[in-house]
């Protein structure tokens, strides 16, 4: 018989709280177009007032996006699936706690100087 401390689920058993339990089984945010993978999320200076509606993951997100951070980086940092983070971000946006800067799909013409900077930056790597 294993000692009691051995019976705790380890990392290999997967997360103790299943990812979609975090967002109460929701699979898409309410009335939102899908956030782009590279949408930049930034915390506003509004203080969360209705704390009881926020989960620990919401607070982790808020801490991360004090610095403007992309959706994929948030998902990676929190180790949650993209779809889950999309919903958490939509929740925070609804509360006015974050802003979302969605990329516009222009044809890059205005970005030529930046692309040249990218080439030089890669050469210096």
Residues at the interface with other proteins (CB under 8 A): 19, 27, 34, 36-38, 40, 42-46, 65-68, 70, 72-73, 75-76, 79-83, 96, 99-112, 114-119, 121-123, 125
Closest approach, Cβ 42 to other proteins, in A, equals 4
Estimate the crossing angle of helix 71-78 against helix 82-94, to 10 degrees.
Answer: 110
DSSP state of 98: E
Cβ nearer to other proteins, comparing 59 with 68: 68
Cβ nearer to other proteins, comparing 3 with 66: 66
Rounded Cα distance between 91 and 95, Å, is 7
Closest approach, Cβ 12 to other proteins, in A, equals 15
Closest approach, Cβ 47 to other proteins, in A, equals 13
Cβ nearer to other proteins, comparing 16 with 105: 105
Cβ nearer to other proteins, comparing 18 with 53: 18
Nearest to 41 by CA among 66, 15, 23, 59: 66
90's tokens = 């939509």
Query: DSSP per residue over 64-81, as a string?
Result: HTTS-EEHHHHHHHHT--
């Amino acid at each position: 018989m294993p000692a009691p401390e051995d019976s705790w689920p380890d990392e290999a058993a997967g997360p103790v709280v299943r990812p979609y339990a975090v967002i109460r089984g929701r699979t898409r945010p309410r009335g939102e177009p899908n956030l782009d993978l590279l949408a930049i999320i930034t915390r506003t200076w509004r203080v969360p007032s209705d704390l009881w509606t926020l989960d620990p993951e919401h607070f982790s997100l808020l801490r991360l996006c004090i610095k403007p951070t992309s959706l994929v980086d948030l998902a990676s940092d929190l180790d949650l699936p993209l779809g889950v983070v999309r919903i958490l971000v939509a929740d925070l946006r609804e509360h006015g706690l974050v802003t979302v800067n969605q990329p516009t799909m222009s044809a890059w013409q205005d970005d030529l100087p930046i692309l040249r900077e990218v080439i030089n930056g890669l050469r210096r790597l």
